[in-house]
Amino acid sequence: MPLPFVYHQGNITEIAAMTHFHTPDPVAIDLVPFEEVHLPDALALSQAVGWPHRAEDWALNLTASKGVVAVAEGRVMGTALCSLHGPVATLNMIIVDAALRGRGVGKRLMEGIIALGGAREMRLVATEEGKPLYRKLGFVETGQIVQLQGVAAPATPEQPFTASPGDPGLMAQMDFQASGMDRAALLGRIAAQGTTLVTDGGFALLRAFGRGHVLGPVVARDPAAARALMAAGANRMAGSFLRMDLPEAHGLAPFAETLGLRRAGGGTAMVRAARPRDPSPFQTHALISQALG
């Protein structure tokens, strides 16, 4: 019996549920551009599947994105965003209303945002259940993302840091070298909403998100700088809810656990039409989010 699709934090997730054996009645579905007017309905869809996103979190994603919504009988029944970061796009916020799961709406949404991405390299974070569809659409696996969250515990950073605006141009340059994504405007918006942490060889952004705060990106040229920034973020959020999304390959998930965070899921990083990149001393040690890379 096929499992109906539910879409989770920018990743396709299949949730087991009983389905009827008869063929569902056909429903006329239109895909239309995602506009600001659709945000309240998008928020309602994400709340229905238990996501932590606030209206402000949706709005931030939309500032960096184009997207589509699935409309049936005058109602928004599905959403999908293609966040544009120069030569790279991240695909995210893909949700299908329970009433339309199992009817191919998810594939149509994916095809819609892939078209919006054009010739760009495209990235996403997938669950195990979503991988077969992504593979069919040309995505290949590149690594694991570990989501950690919990009540932050104070720690002593191993090198000095400051909480200051920093140099926006330099931070955008470091981020581009680390990720291959041109996110200067997005980083500026996040910095304006939250706190910038700077250390020798790296920076991190701390902002309100979902149930509390998220630390990301953490961009650093070595693990010591990354650990200092993570500890600085935990210190500022000590006693409060904090989340980080870490590429497993960098090996910093165990350190995040010493800061009071616990593993709470994650997924597989996948890419389509990958482009060659120049070597860089900088790496992304924590994502802005699974949606925005």
How does strand 11-14 pair with strand 202-209? unpaired
Domain boundaries of the chain, sorted by first residue: 5-138, 146-286
CATH fold group of domain 5-138: Aminopeptidase (3.40.630)
The mean predicted confidence, pLDDT, of the chain is 90
CATH for the 146-286 domain, from 3.40.1190.10, 3.40.630.90, 2.40.50.140, 3.40.140.10 = 3.40.630.90
**SS3 category, 101:** coil
Among residues of the chain, what percentage have pLDDT more than 90? 81
What is the pTM for the complete model shown? 0.90
Q: For residue 5, is pLDDT > 90? A: no
Instruction: Give the angle subtended at the CA of 127 by the CAs of 121 and 131, to the nearest 5°.
Output: 60
Determine the pLDDT at residue 263: 97
How does strand 241-247 pair with strand 212-220? parallel
* Residue 26's pLDDT band (cuts 50, 70, 90): low
For residues 121 and 180, the answer to whether their CB atoms sit within 8 Å is: yes
For residues 109 and 241, the answer to whether their CB atoms sit within 8 Å is: no
Which residue, 249, 219, 246, 226, is CA-closest to 143? 249
Which residue, 133, 86, 85, is CA-closest to 106? 133
Q: What is the pLDDT of residues 208-219, one digit of tens each?
A: 999 999 999 999
Taking residues 168-185, report their average pLDDT. Answer: 98
Q: For residue 223, is pLDDT > 90? A: yes
Which residue, 75, 143, 78, is CA-closest to 108? 78
E strand or H helix at 125? strand 121-126
How does strand 140-151 pair with strand 5-8? unpaired
Q: For residue 236, is pLDDT > 60? A: yes
- Residue scoring higher pLDDT (285 or 12): 285
Q: What is the pLDDT of residues 76-122, one digit of tens each?
A: 999 999 999 999 999 999 899 989 888 889 899 999 999 999 999 99
> Biggest alpha carbon distance in the chain?
64
Alpha helices per DSSP H over the chain: 39-48, 55-63, 105-117, 131-136, 168-179, 184-193, 223-236, 253-258
Are domains 5-138 and 146-286 of this chain identical in fold? yes
